[in-house]
């Protein structure tokens, strides 16, 4: 993997270095299950990796996962809602903070 490669060997995407100084808000696509009346984060299954929640902290990633959310809504016939969480409260730091 070189600095221009945006994927890790395990297939997960990584953020290019120093492009985001601090996450101030998070976007998430939410689905609603009418059977049990629960709301949850929509996710897609990535073979060899597992479930990938449709969550983003920047516009570039949001644009990438929007396509997936639109596909899920079309395939299931269920509404998928985009929400933006914008209140940050640091609860705990685990390990050494750099």
Would you call 63 helix, strand, or coil by DSSP? Answer: helix
DSSP state of 3: T
Residue ranges of domains in the chain: 26-85
User: Model's pTM, two decimal places?
Assistant: 0.73
The most distant pair of C-alpha atoms in the chain lies apart, rounded to whole Å, by 47
Would you call 25 helix, strand, or coil by DSSP? Answer: coil
Give the mean model confidence (pLDDT) for residues 65-77.
Answer: 95
pLDDT in tens, 11-54: 556 666 666 678 989 999 999 988 899 999 999 999 999 999 99
Distance CA 70, CA 38 (A): 20
């Amino acid at each position: 993997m070189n600095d221009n490669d945006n994927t890790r060997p395990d297939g997960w995407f990584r953020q290019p270095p120093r492009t985001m100084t601090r996450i101030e808000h998070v976007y998430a696509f939410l689905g609603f299950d009418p059977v049990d009346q629960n709301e949850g984060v929509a996710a897609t299954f990535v073979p060899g990796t597992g479930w990938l929640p449709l969550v983003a902290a920047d516009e570039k990633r949001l644009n990438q996962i929007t396509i997936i959310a639109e596909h899920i809504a079309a395939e299931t016939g269920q509404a998928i809602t985009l929400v933006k969480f914008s209140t940050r409260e640091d609860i705990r730091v685990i390990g050494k903070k750099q």
